[in-house]
A and B are shown apart, each in its own frame.
Chain A
Amino acid sequence: MALPPPDPQFVLRGTSAAVHALHFSCDSQEPAVPVLFSGSENGFIHVWNLKTHRVDTPLDGHGRKSVYCVETMGGKDRLLSQGRDQRICLWDLAEGRTAVTDSVCTENVGFCRCSLLKVAQGRWLMAMAAKALEEVQVLELPSKTSVCTLKPEVGAKLGMPMCLKLWQPSCGSQPLLLAGYEDGSVALWNLSMGKALSQLVCHQEPVMSLDFDSEKAKGISGSSEKVLSIWSLDEQQNLQVYKTHKLVNAGISDITIRPDKKILATAGWDHRIRIFGWKKLKPLAVLDYHTATVHAVSFSDHKIPSQRLLAAGSKDHRISIWSIYTQT
């Protein structure tokens, strides 16, 4: 007899709005406290203290417009947030400050979360959906200079970019970008040349979220339909469908692979979080706690494996924290 699925380790309440984005920052040394950042629909970013399970600081920087992406830039003192007020804000949170140091005006009214990649000490690349409908713009931070603009070819009809992932191949060559589009296809872009290396139709519906394992050169994407699609990248940088997995209920809002590449979590429109083994996409658990759509899932970056956590933010204003498969 299989065990029943575990209950959340704890639940964070107090956002009083739907939670759209989550990001952990936990690998700092003691006595610094592990922290979870959450972005809500009411424009606040809450900094959750994971020891006391309370909000340390609410950050109000997006004019009460929904915040749908939060990322840290090297430690929890530098935060990046993206909101529906068409701005990406950079925060300085060191020593208790809560100031927006810089902001980027995206002029984009979509929902596409930006993607960050650290390329050198103090230098990041950020990919975001640009003003024009189908374009993706890559900026360098903190200088805010544009690296390139990725335009699909005329007549490609990819639609809006829905999700982005910047990654760097392990052999140290140029960073690449994976983008999922409204028509259900995933494209691999070369940033230096500014053109698409490969394109693959993975879904019939828009790609809602994707994640990529650069070591195994395998990625997974979820859509508003019932299918999860796993694709791989061969030596010629061609995308190929590797496997598909059918779900019980339609709709995935977010997918994330754990940093140790052993398991992945999906956030579903059916209020459930599903855990799969990454190697063979074996279904491992269905966590049924939330009472509304789960918008975001995120794994923590604890150094000690047994402390690792999974966070899920939902439309029911709650963030559930789970401790699952931490022994491996």
Chain B
Amino acid sequence: VSFTPGGLDCSISFVSHVLGKVCVHGRQKEILSVLVPRLTDLTKSDCIWQRICWRLVECVPDRWMEAVVLGFVQTAPRADVLSRLLGNLVVKNKKAQFVVTQKMLLLQYGHTAAVLQNLLGYLALDSLRRALLIKVLKELLETWGSSSAVKHSPPEQQQYISKAILICLSHLKEPEIESCRQELLTSVMEGVKCHLDSNLPQIRRLGMIVAESISSKINTDGPVLKFQYEEDDEARELKSLLVQTPPFCVVPSPPDDDRNEKADAALPGVLEGNKKSHPAAAVKPEEESDAELDSDDDLIPYDMSEDKELKTKAPVYIRDCIEVLTSSEDVDKWEATVMALESLVRKNPAAAREVSVELAKIVLHLEEKTCIEGFVELRQRAQVAILTADPIPVAKYLTSQFYSLNYSLRQRVDILDVLVLAAQELSCPKSHGKTKHSDVQKPYIQLLPGSDSSKDWRRIVDERIKSKTRRFATGRSQVERASGPNEFNSVAGHFFFPLIQHFDRPLTTFDLLGEDHFVLGRLVHALAILMYLAVNTVAVTAMGKVLLEFVWALRFHTDSYVRQGLLSCISSVLLSVPAERLLEDVIEELLETQSWLGDVVEKDPDGDCRRLALQNLLLMENLKKKLKTVPS
């Protein structure tokens, strides 16, 4: 038993007051970085010191309790240390309980995973506190599963809550899971639905991971829920939270073990390699002697394993392609046709023009018959080739089909992607005469087939916005490109206006403003890109006006992906429509939009939306400045 220096007469409450006052003034780090390690050591085995420590924190006045508890939770190295230091404070003190169970988990979301581990571990370590743990879990799940939270709260907060849920799950024991199994199940069901409905892939993935984890915990036997999603560092980190490593497992010399293991792994590899080369050498002389006995001439045959039957040749005429794709039973021929279709259409634009709409119809409905590698990309490239060969009729067809009945979401999104890719191709100057279209360097936008096209596009447009705000008036220092007529000029309107026309007219299977907000989001992004590509075309002002009205109609949409798209539309209008035209013809819509942008910057929950709105406001400012400096 060791005694404190200064005796036990020192009033603990005075120290608590000091501690509280210091913490509430923001000096938690300084004082606690000294205090906590000292207390950790002292309380390791000494019960009296533990009691002293508990008294210390319990005596902190309520108005300073929050700061002190927060400080302790953040500074403590591990959950068991926190447990020793705070004791059952959360049970005894209402304020502490509120801070730990409500404020830190539900109202704040800036803490690291380590802090979460400390906090929840602390709750898990004592039987009195475990009830709180379960209560916390239920509340977290309620928040996780509420659709309004999923829609309106920032993605960072949603991630934080998901992490907290996973850590709670890792601490739960069997009997506790049994008791709240039913509740867990219901909340998982509801929560998963809201998450999968979201347009942001990150939210979807969070939902999938949490649902999988919960399902694995409550159904230890029997089939477990399994989703398909991209496994990257973030996903792995989340999943690692599910497993609790016991705190005393830290082995003092892991580096040596690793090194040894690696050396062991290397050796067998080397041995195997040696073994392999020997048999190979042994076989060859045998074969040679065989050959000598076999034929009298000592002619050794070469390896003829590559000698196979010739593949079926693809048709050379486009009309043959049509025939094969619609009616042929021969799958080899069908495969060869699919692979050759794009290059055939590009080599014979005149022939393609004769049958363009029919071919577009066939390719739009083309389903994968056999397992070809890259089928989706082949189909998309073929469609782009057909569209660029004969833009106006095919665009008319595709845009009309976009709003027709009985198409799947994939097909509608395909139509949008194809229109955008073809528009990009048509608006790019062709370099040096005959180009191989697959090699054309897409100068400004890299559009990948897939659902992430919006992210890359945004990145590039952001760069362009940045370059504009820095006033690089002469453009970037690039090699002069060979100029040619803008092929997109004559067809821009045909791509753009039909897509906007019917967005508010719901069909039985397709309701853009209702359930199908995913397609609405993609539509809005596609319109933004088409607007951006229409720079220097004749129709650009009319397009800009119509697009701003469209944005105005949808500006309060609840889905953040749609809102990001709307903001990108505004950027495109500001970048593509010449300043004079904006001032003369589009000024009213611009002013209305400006007031909305101000609103978004202040109040929108999504970080990307706020950033885009800010950039738009900057662009508008620049526009005003530019117009002022030009002598009118």
Which A positions have Cβ atoms within 8 angstroms of B?
1-6, 248-249, 262-263, 270-272, 277, 279-280, 282-286, 288, 325, 328
Contacts and interface: CB of A to CB of B under 8 A. Distances in A.
B283 A284 contact: no
B302 A4 contact: yes
A6 B301 CA distance: 11
B280 A284 contact: no
Nearest to A270: B310
26 contacts: A1-B280, A1-B284, A1-B303, A2-B303, A3-B300, A3-B303, A4-B302, A248-B307, A248-B309, A262-B297, A270-B310, A271-B310, A277-B297, A279-B295, A279-B296, A282-B294, A282-B295, A282-B299, A284-B301, A284-B302, A286-B302, A286-B304, A286-B306, A288-B307, A325-B299, A328-B299
* Binding site secondary structure of chain B: loop
B556 to A, nearest CB: 61
A5 B295 contact: no
Contact of B297 (A4, A271, A272, A279): A279
Nearest to B281: A1
B306 to A, nearest CB: 7
Given A2-B287, A249-B310, A270-B310, A328 B304 contact: no
Interface in B579-610: none
Contact of B307 (A3, A279, A282, A286): A286
A40 to B, nearest CB: 23
B516 interface: no
Given A262-B297, A277-B295, A279-B296, A6 B303 contact: no
A21 B321 CA distance: 35
B375 to A, nearest CB: 26
B302 A328 contact: no
B308 interface: yes
B298 interface: yes
A248 to B, nearest CB: 6
Contacts of B304: 2, 5, 283, 285-286
A280 B301 CA distance: 13
A227 to B, nearest CB: 15
Interface of B: 280, 283-284, 287, 294-304, 306-310
Contacts of B301: 2, 282-285
Contacts of B307: 248, 272, 286, 288
Contacts of A3: 300, 302-303
A328 B287 contact: no
A6 B296 contact: no
Contacts, number: 61
B310 A4 contact: no
A288 B302 CA distance: 12
Given A1-B280, A248-B308, A262 B299 contact: yes
Contacts of A248: 307-309
Nearest to B306: A288
Contacts of B297: 262, 277, 279, 328
Nearest to B287: A2
A277 B299 contact: yes
Given A277-B295, A279-B297, A328-B297, A6 B302 contact: yes
Contact of A4 (B283, B295, B303, B309): B303
Nearest to A2: B303
Contacts of B300: 2-3, 284
A21 B298 CA distance: 31
Contact of A285 (B302, B309, B310): B302
* Binding site secondary structure of chain A: loop
Nearest to B291: A282
A279 B296 CA distance: 9
Contacts of B298: 328
Nearest to A263: B299
A261 B524 CA distance: 75
Pick the 5 closest A-B CB pairs, nearest first.
A2-B303, A285-B302, A286-B307, A5-B302, A284-B301
A217 B302 CA distance: 28
Contacts of A277: 295, 297, 299
Contacts of A263: 299
Contacts of A286: 302, 304, 306-307
A263 B295 CA distance: 12
Contacts of A4: 302-303
B293 to A, nearest CB: 13
A258 to B, nearest CB: 11
Given A5-B306, A248-B309, A285-B302, 13 more contacts: A1-B280, A5-B302, A249-B309, A249-B310, A270-B310, A271-B310, A277-B295, A279-B297, A280-B295, A282-B299, A284-B301, A328-B297, A328-B299
Contacts of A328: 297-299
A1 B283 contact: yes
A198 B284 CA distance: 47
Contacts of B294: 282
A153 to B, nearest CB: 40
A284 B298 CA distance: 11
Nearest to A284: B301
Contacts of A272: 307
A284 B302 CA distance: 6
A328 B300 CA distance: 11
Residue in B287, B294, B303, B307 whose Cβ sees the most chain A Cβ within 10 Å: B307
A271 B303 CA distance: 17
A238 B297 CA distance: 28
Contacts of A2: 287, 300-304
Contacts of A249: 309-310
Nearest to A268: B310
B277 to A, nearest CB: 12
Nearest to B283: A1
A272 B310 CA distance: 10
Contacts of B310: 249, 270-271
Contacts of A271: 310
A129 B301 CA distance: 38
Nearest to A262: B297
B313 to A, nearest CB: 11
Nearest to A6: B302
A24 B280 CA distance: 40
A285 B304 CA distance: 6
A6 to B, nearest CB: 7
A106 B107 CA distance: 101
A280 B291 CA distance: 13
Contacts of B296: 279
A2 B307 CA distance: 14
Contacts of B302: 2-6, 284-286
A286 to B, nearest CB: 4
Contacts of A262: 297, 299
B284 to A, nearest CB: 7
Nearest to B296: A279
B486 to A, nearest CB: 37
Contacts of B308: 248
A165 to B, nearest CB: 24
A262 B303 CA distance: 19
Residue in A1, A2, A3 whose Cβ sees the most chain B Cβ within 10 Å: A2
Residue in A271, A285, A328 whose Cβ sees the most chain B Cβ within 10 Å: A285
Contacts of A283: 301, 304
A280 B302 CA distance: 16
A1 B294 CA distance: 17
A2 B299 CA distance: 12
A209 B358 CA distance: 46
B314 to A, nearest CB: 15
A5 B309 CA distance: 17
A225 to B, nearest CB: 14
Nearest to B304: A286
A272 to B, nearest CB: 7
A296 to B, nearest CB: 20
A271 B309 CA distance: 11
A231 B310 CA distance: 28
A78 to B, nearest CB: 34
Nearest to B308: A248
A154 B455 CA distance: 81
